Amino acid sequence: MAAATTGLPSGLQQVQAAFTKSSVVVKAICISTTLVYLLSFLVNTESILSGLAVTPGLIFPPSFRIWTLVTHAFVEVHFWFVVIGVSVTVLCGRIVEPLWGALEMLIFFAVSTVGSAILSSMIYLFMYMTSFNVDYLFDTHFYGLPGYCAGVFVALKQLCGDQELSRGAVKLRIGDLPLVILGAVLLLRIIGIVAGTYLCMTGSGILVSWVYLRFYQRQSDGKEKGDMSDSFTFASFFPEVIRPPIAILANTVHSFLVRIKVCKKQVRKYDVGAPSPITITLPGTDPADAERRRQIALKALNERLSKVEEQTAWPSMEDQPSSPDSEHPSLSASLHGDGDETRETDRLEMLDETDESNIQESS
C-alpha cells in the first residue's frame, strides 16, 4: 500500500490523505459519485440520465420526478468531471467541515445541489416559454456536482476571502474564485468543451449558495442566521469598478424580497449598557465568527513569517573579512598579554587598598 501511494502524483497523494481523514459525509459523496460513474459502463448512459438526472419537463407536474433532485448530484458520465467533483468535495471536507461540522456540511450540500437544479430547471423552462423549443424541457438533463463545486468556492470566500493566492502582476484572492470559475466555465462553453447545463448549474450554484450563507445559515450560537458582513455582499463578487451599479441593483432586489417576507432586513443593535459607550452588533458577526477569522489571519501571518525566515540567510563567521589581529598574530598576542597583565595589577592594587581600609576600621 505504501509503494502504491508513493507512485501517485503529489496532488493525488494529498487528495488521498485528505479523503482518509475525512468524515462519513465526504466519503459517502465521493464513493456514490464514483460508483454511479462506474455503473455508466454497464448500463446505457441515456437510461441513467433519464432515470436519475433532472429533466426540466419532468420534475414539474404531472410527472413530478422529485427524486431526481437528490440523485442527479451523484450522476456523472465524464471522468474528468468525476475527478474535479471528488477533489472539490475532499477540499471542502478538509477546510470547511472542521469549521462547520459534518451536519452543516451535509445541509449545505443538499441546499446547493437541490437549489441549483431547481433554479436551472426554471431557467430552462423560461427559455422554452420564449422559444417554444421542446428540447429545453425533455432533451436536457442536469447532473453532476458543478452547482456544489461552485457553492464550495462561495463558502471559501466567506471563510477566508481575503487570503491571497498569487502575488504577481495580477493579484488573485480566494474571494475572487467564484467569478473566476464562472468565467472559466463560460469560456469552455464558448469553445464547446462543456454543455450549457454546466454553465447554468455553476451560475445557479453560486447564487443559491450565496443566498443560503447570506440569509439562512444558522450561526454557531444558534440565535442568528446568515452573514450580513460587508465583505460578503453580492457586489463583492465582482471587480471594484462595477460594484456600485451592481450594489444598487442588488439592494433594490433585496428590498423587494424583504417586502414580500422572503429575506430579512439587516438589523443593527445598539447596546448602551455595555462596557464601551456604544456596541454595534450585526447579525452573523458573532464572537465565534470573529475568532475564526482571527485564527485564519494568524495562521496566514505565521506562514508568511516562516517563509521570510527561511529565505533570510545570515552571513557565516568564516566569510567575514580578516581583522588586523589575524594578519599579525604575534602583535595581537602581545597586546592581549599586556592587557591581561594590566588588569591583574589593577586587581591586586584594589585588594591592597581594601585590606588597608579594613585594618584602619578594626583599629
pLDDT in tens, 54-82: 999 999 888 889 999 999 999 999 999 99
CA–CA separation, 53 vs 46, rounded Å? 10
- C-beta of residue 240 within 8 angstroms of C-beta of residue 173: no
Biggest CA pair distance of the chain: 127
Range with the poorest average pLDDT among 11-15, 53-57, 188-192? 11-15
Which residue matches cell numbers 598576542? Answer: 333
Please tell me the pTM assigned to this model.
0.72
Q: For 290-305, give one letter per residue: b (16+ CB within 10 A) or e.
A: eeebeebeeeeeeeee
pLDDT the model gives residue 226: 85
Cα–chain center distance at 228: 18
Cα–chain center distance at 94: 10
Which of left, alpha, beta for 222 (phi over 0: left; psi -120 to 50: alpha)? left
Helix ranges (DSSP H) in the chain: 2-6, 10-21, 24-39, 45-52, 56-59, 68-71, 79-95, 97-100, 102-131, 135-138, 146-160, 177-191, 196-211, 243-259, 287-311, 324-327, 329-362
Q: What are phi and psi of 233, to 5 degrees?
A: -75, 165
> Residues with Cβ < 8 Å from 92, sequence gap 6 or more?
26, 105, 152, 155
Range with the poorest average pLDDT among 192-201, 235-244, 281-290? 281-290
Split at pLDDT 50, 70, 90, the class of 134 is: very high
The residue among 48, 53, 84 whose CA lies nearest residue 67 is: 53
Percent of the chain with pLDDT over 90: 45
pLDDT the model gives residue 316: 53
Split at pLDDT 50, 70, 90, the class of 219 is: confident
